[in-house]
Amino acid sequence: MPGAGPGSPGRESAGAPTFGIEEEFFLADRETRETVARAPEVVKQARDRLGDQAGPELFTTTVETRTRPVGTLDEMREQLRWLREGLAAAAAEADCRVVASGIPVIPFSGPPSIVDDPRYRRLADLYGPFVTHDQHTSACACHIHVAVPDREEAVQLSNHLRPWLPTLQALAANSPFQDGLDSGFASWRALHFGRWPHVGPTPLCEDAAAYDDLLDRLVESGMLFDRRHAYWYARPAERWPTLEVRVPDVNADLDTVLLVASLTRALSTVLLTAVRRGAPVPDIPDPLLRAAHWRAAHDGPAGSGLDPFTGHLRPAADLVARLIAHAGPALEETGELSFVRRAWDRVRVQGGGAQRQRAVYGRRGELRDVVDELTVGGR
């Protein structure tokens, strides 16, 4: 396998939950590399190959894949590779590429359009053109699902995860360009997607009943379309027995995806142990958490990060090292610790996704080169 790869085969552990990944991708014209609205054609072709593991997203410029739940990192690598190759083959039938970037590198030149789906049409009616018809709201993330035994534990886990999520976000930052210009941020997706009124840190809730009551009140207020529409940074899923972490940008590099996914699962395993022994929830104010997420979006893994536990800036690398150390017992249990260390060393040396995009652009000043670098599953 290319890249860092798991140094030893990932092993299933009785204490490790299964996990799954959703990846969102842009479509780009094969020749011009401009973002194109060909999702209906691509999804139709992809479902012949991938079944229900491929589907549309809100805009016709984006598509999505979903893995099955798996128990090991090697299984996850194979699932992601298979899905990317199948999606790329379907895109080739529509004369386009599958591009893994949080924001389009070369923007869509036409008026944005919503996928012809009743739910998406109702979203457009509710939120209006400022959000749903603005092409700049189109963004591609990587959502990591970790199996959790029940909803009560999922809510408690989301409480304990809050201060760790900015570091995971920084690791996956992969969207520096906006409208063909360098935004100055490692993850511009985080800022643009944050325009939705229900994006942000997961609210602290005493228990599942309080969480569900809050969701119901927000739906009643009209701010949420339905309970599935809470786009908090981590949330108990409404359709599956999982906790869904939503902060990473999509990444072309599989090792980066697997690094973030492995850390997310291992950290969740360690924190669930803390939940079960009654450890107190870190009481960190939302404004401080928002500042930590802003800093993660700005600097990525290469600069500084705001430590939510202390409220002070620290090197982002130190925050990643602390996260790896905290998740270490679960990583050792699954045999993933050596992979995580090597994958992180590679990010430190070669840079994260945003750094690599900028390095490619810096060679010739060609955004098309960046799109080529981000094309997944073949060109």
The CATH number covering residue 316 comes to 3.30.590.20
Beta bridge partners of 44: none
Return the number of other C-beta atoms located less than 10 Å from residue 76's C-beta.
27
Overall average pLDDT of the 202-220 stretch: 95
pLDDT of 318-363, one tens digit each? 999 999 999 999 999 999 999 999 999 999 999 999 999 999 999 9
Of 1 and 321, which is predicted with more confidence?
Answer: 321
So what's the pLDDT on residue 318? 98
**For position 130, what pLDDT does the model report?**
55
Residue 59 resides in a domain: yes
Dig out the tokens for 15 from the structure: 């204490």
Q: What is the pLDDT of residue 26?
A: 95
Please say if the pLDDT value at position 10 is more than 70: no
**β-strand 181-182 against 312-315: which pairing, if any?**
unpaired
The rounded distance, in Å, linking the Cα atoms of 100 and 345 is 22
Q: Answer whether residue 147 is part of any domain.
A: yes
Q: What is the mean pLDDT of the chain?
A: 91
- Residue 13, in any domain of the structure: no
Does residue 347 lie in a domain region?
A: yes
How far apart CA 83 and CA 158 sit, in angstroms, is 28
Q: Tokens 């339905």 label which residue? A: 226
pLDDT above 70: residue 378: no
CA nearest 164: which of 315, 324, 336? 324
Q: How many CB atoms lie within 10 A of CB 125?
A: 10
Q: CB neighbours (10 Å) of residue 348?
A: 15
Q: Give the pLDDT of residue 193.
A: 84
CB 295 within 8 A of CB 166: yes
Q: Which of the two residues, 256 and 227, has the higher pLDDT score?
A: 256
12 inside domain: no
Tally the domains of the chain. 1
* Residue 69 binned pLDDT confidence (cut-offs 50, 70, 90): very high
CA separation, residue 310 to residues 279, 285, 320 (Å): 19, 12, 15
Highest mean pLDDT among 111-120, 134-143, 178-187: 178-187
In this model, does residue 136 exceed pLDDT 90?
no
Query: Given pLDDT bands bounded at 50, 70 and 90, which one contains residue 7?
Result: very low
φ and ψ of 365, to 5 deg: 70, 30
Confidence of residue 72 (pLDDT cuts 50, 70, 90): very high
User: Per the domain annotation, does 308 fall within a domain?
Assistant: yes
Say what the pLDDT of residue 379 is.
57
Is residue 10 in a domain? Answer: no
Residue 373 CB neighbours (<10 A): 19
Report, as an integer, the average pLDDT of 12-26. Answer: 87
Residue 107 has pLDDT above 90, yes or no: no
Q: How far apart are CA 213 and CA 197, in angstroms?
A: 19
**pLDDT reported for residue 121:** 76
- Percent of the chain beyond pLDDT 70? 93
Task: Give the residue with greater pLDDT, 187 vs 7.
Answer: 187
d(CA 55, CA 46): 8
Q: Which domain holds residue 177?
A: 19-374
Q: Is 6 a member of any domain?
A: no
What percent of the chain shows pLDDT beyond 90? 78
**Res. 133 pLDDT band, cuts 50 70 90:** low
Do 16 and 265 meet the contact criterion of CB atoms below 8 Å apart?
A: yes
